[in-house]
Homo-oligomer: A and B are copies of this chain.
Amino acid sequence: MLTGRDILTTRQFTREELSAILGTAEGFESALRERKALKNLENLVVASLFFEPSTRTRLSFETAALRLSGRVVSVSEAGGSSMAKGESLADTIRTVDGYADIIVVRHPQKGAAQAAADNASHPVINAGDGTGQHPTQALLDLYTILKEKGRLSGLTLTLLGDLKNGRTVHSLSYLMALYGNRMILVSPPSLAMPPEIVAEARAAGTEVVEIPDVEAAVAESDIIYVTRVQRERFADPAEYESVKGSYVVDMRLIARAKPGVTVMHPLPRVDEIATEVDEYEGAAYFRQAHNGLPVRMALLALVSGRI
């Protein structure tokens, strides 16, 4: 049902399409576990165009293509590209469109993925466009919740940390509202979730509460989704110093959380989750990263029409 389509934003999908993506990803995850040879992208070339570095996402997409027997040409970093010579993204994409069957694009500028899609006859998949969208991250988050919790609705989810700048939590908020869940927002005041995102979730019928106290929030949460609070986001260094310790997840916090709480993080993690938590069975962030593989395989197979 997604044959020939671009994947540009989380908001483009119907629930039926989301089910198809998640179901396809589950099928591929089983196939990988059983070491089945997959041929969905046989004879197809995927152009993996990363105009800003993102090792994790790039390797995940390229592995996904290769595991489906696709072939990959790869660009990483703007430094090595024609764009350094002043060429427009539109011209670059129009050229690559003549080589490849699917184009994956990561770009530092918001709107770049849409611009790429406007200039390509082949499907374009947005692998992150600056402060814009990163739909495949949102989809692997959704897939992770489904795998970890067995369902996508009726959950209480704490979004923790920098909720202002993280495109990840914005997309996740949108998707979780779609399925009917409760959300708790915990952030420093200056890094609160933008009102329009909160309004959108509420309009979809989701209960959204802001709780300043992390311990109170996690005590009633099925999932804690952690994002990093970066020093450079604060105009006033004193504010950073006063809050930084409050948004770190460690075993002391887990001990006060609802039993079985799932801890997620889009990675890379710096120090906002203590490494001691890695051993906790509800620590899902590496499984979450690994879920990028079947989810991206699903997207590649679906847009190629080879499924």
The chain A residues found within 8 Å of chain B, CB to CB, are: 35, 37, 42-43, 45, 47, 53-56, 59-60, 62-63, 66-67, 71-77, 79-87, 90-92, 94-96, 98-100, 267-270, 275, 286-287, 289-290, 293
A82 in contact with B55 (CB, 8 Å): yes
**Complex CA–CA separation, A96 to B80 (angstroms):** 21
Q: Whole-angstrom distance between the alpha carbons of A56 and B74 in the complex?
A: 11
Contact, CB under 8 Å: B98 / A290: yes
The residues of B that contact A71 with a CB separation of less than 8 Å are 66-67
- The reply to whether A290 and B81 contact each other, CB–CB distance below 8 Å, is no
Whether B53 pairs with A81 at a CB distance below 8 angstroms is yes
CB-CB < 8 A to A54: which residues of B?
82
Contacts A43-B37, A66-B45, A73-B63; is A56 near B267 (CB within 8 Å)? no
Instruction: Give A76's nearest chain B residue, CB to CB.
Output: B80
Nearest neighbor of A60 in chain B, beta-carbon distance: B99
Q: Which of A54, A76, A84 has the most CB of B within 10 A?
A: A76
Distance (whole angstroms) from the CB of A168 to the closest CB of chain B: 14
